Structure 1
């Protein structure tokens, strides 16, 4: 696993994804999403907390919804009736928790994509049960080759799917391609720390830890927040902003562990396959990465230039 440290250039070699990566990702979520839903609900991403909340461990679902609200506020997504987004894509949608939330918040049409057909089918069933199918639809599709025309969406969101992308430049390029002129792009993702000026790469022990996390969660190469900024610049995206929310999400995995040790969590564990068990064991590796300052929970926002 490589750790990139310089700007993404158009002439840079295209990363070669590990063989079977897409199938492995789909298989992981096919198997584990039901267990996650029973324990934590329909949002498959970190929760946002105020620093110091670790002792009380607030409601996980409320914290996950707050992550979305904080991301929207950071990106200055308007809620004015005339300017609010009307067409949204949720890239890496899971079972559609974020898709449904965004559609309700803005009264918008929201399309979600995931590599997992099981997730898409479950998410559409939940949407239908809530009588919301006229606003939200999920489908299995590849974020690196999205089945949408150019400029379709005025809000493009990726809530923790970038970690799976073997080609980060292609990933951001696709987000930009489907964004409408003037549209907002939000990427919430785990990165590795920025390199120091004197460093050419991460330390061997850091690379080893990231590789173990990759194996647990079917992740691709990691990159830094600075790498994402450089990619956005190379694509001529505007109003590029980042923030490190690592401290804000620090209580999340301890809260998930606490839920997993509840009766619901323990009985759900009886249905787990090996991929889910491996992912659960990876939680301790993630916590270690955060504590070492190696993993940075990052938000990157930008805008697609308006047409000339």
Structure 2
């Protein structure tokens, strides 16, 4: 495992733009490799934050129209009764809170807030305040509109801001929530450091994110594994991958206590099949064409995410810890 001081974009499994390996995975990806390769070989990328913001500016309206206000995986445990995808997304929030032992919240920050679904759900549950940040102006605007329409008033507010440089005071929040935004962070050390900084003494942090599999000491990802992650990264603007073990190390290095993790890869694996099915409905195809190429590019890569889960390469993990009193 890399040292804590080196756990940033350059030391993880993602290579900097322009020097990434472009090995073919045609045997696994089939025709998708041919479609995606022109995207990854151009050597031209917008600055990361702009790319992330534009991706969600384009895709959020389509997602909301088909899936609702929660822009994250659903929780589908084996043997559970059939349920809607929207219920599975709510269950993901509930299971994350249960795993972390969250029983009360006064003021939370929603890091990578999307259109504010998690904030509104948690605010209802605990009667708390929430501040949300996203790189997408369209998401922030929509989150504020929905929250006002649903009667939250000044309790909830959302703005455009960088998670690596949060516009909040030290110790401002007793609950720090990051639902599927960590994968976009180019510097995991700084990301966790900012989460710890804005967390109040005694407060709780939850990060729910995509990772790659845990590597043995001295082990690297195979060429095929790295190539698959590279293609996913290009479509979703993911600059760095790490493992849950890396996150655990970073939590502890930032002085957080009671750190624990869990792997919900099996519980969320059905999600990608559901998303792929929705993308190829008449409404989905029409929406993709209207949304634009960036969103279409993300849709083309969805089978690769499903493949990564099947391979045991892509992991869906939860990390939680508490700032000491």
TM-score (norm 1): 0.91
1:142 counterpart = 2:162: yes
2:198 alignment partner in structure 1: 178
CA contact (8 A) 1:156 1:184 kept: yes
- For structure 1, the residue ranges without an aligned partner over 5 or more in a row are 79-83
**Alignment equivalent of 1:76, drawn from 101, 106, 115:** 101
2:25 alignment partner in structure 1: none
**Alignment equivalent of 2:4, drawn from 5, 8, 13:** 8
Q: Please list, as runs of the form range in 1=range in 2, the aligned pairs for 1:1-308 lying within 5 A after superposition.
A: 5-9=1-5, 12=6, 15=9, 20-52=47-79, 58-78=83-103, 84-197=104-217, 199-306=218-325
Structure 1 runs of 4+ aligned residues shifted over 6 Å read: none
CA contact (8 A) 1:57 1:251 kept: no
CA contact (8 A) 1:28 1:275 kept: yes
Give the Cα separation in 2 of the matches to 1:276 and 1:14. Answer: 27
Deviation at 1:57, TM superposition (A): 6.3
Q: Structure 1 residues 34, 305: closer, same or farther in 2, change over 3 A?
A: same
The alignment partner of 2:171 has SS state of: coil
Give the Cα separation in 1 of the matches to 2:58 and 2:284. Answer: 16
Q: How large is the Cα RMSD of the aligned pairs?
A: 1.6
CA contact (8 A) 1:7 1:231 kept: no
1:81 alignment partner in structure 2: none
Deviation at 1:24, TM superposition (A): 0.4
- For structure 2, the residue ranges without an aligned partner over 5 or more in a row are 11-15, 18-45
2:27 alignment partner in structure 1: none
Aligned length: 292
TM-score (norm 2): 0.86
The alignment partner of 1:143 has SS state of: coil
CA contact (8 A) 2:8 2:188 kept: no
